Amino acid sequence: MTPTLSDDDRKQAVVSLARFVDDELDVELGGIQVESLLMFFLKEIAPVVYNQGVADAQVFLRDRIADLEATCYAPEFTYWPKASSVRRK
């Protein structure tokens, strides 16, 4: 699955990427070139980051589910102390 960007996010990413290339690499790229570079990153590299995020989420949820009883357990019938479970007259 190739991650996608909204139009606003794409515009901001293009501006940011163009600035990075200009400032850090001293290369000026045109808008079409920056868009192409962004599309390359989204198709080639973004899935790696996306898949790692999914794997991290699976581990997180698996750990929480394994500890579900300790996390969500409520003791039952605790109103009366155990020693006084026999009713006296």
Q: Which pLDDT tens digit goes with each residue over 26-72? A: 999 999 999 999 999 999 999 999 999 999 999 999 988 888 887 78
**Residue 88 confidence (pLDDT):** 61
What is the structure's pLDDT at 84?
60
| Distance (Å, whole) CA 54 – CA 71 | 23
- pTM of this prediction exceeds 0.85: no
Residue with tokens 């901001």: 12
Q: Residue 38 is encoded by which pair of tokens?
A: 């962004």
Average pLDDT over residues 78-85: 78
Backbone angles phi, psi at 68, to 5 degrees: -60, -45
With cut-offs at 50, 70 and 90, classify the pLDDT of residue 86. Answer: low
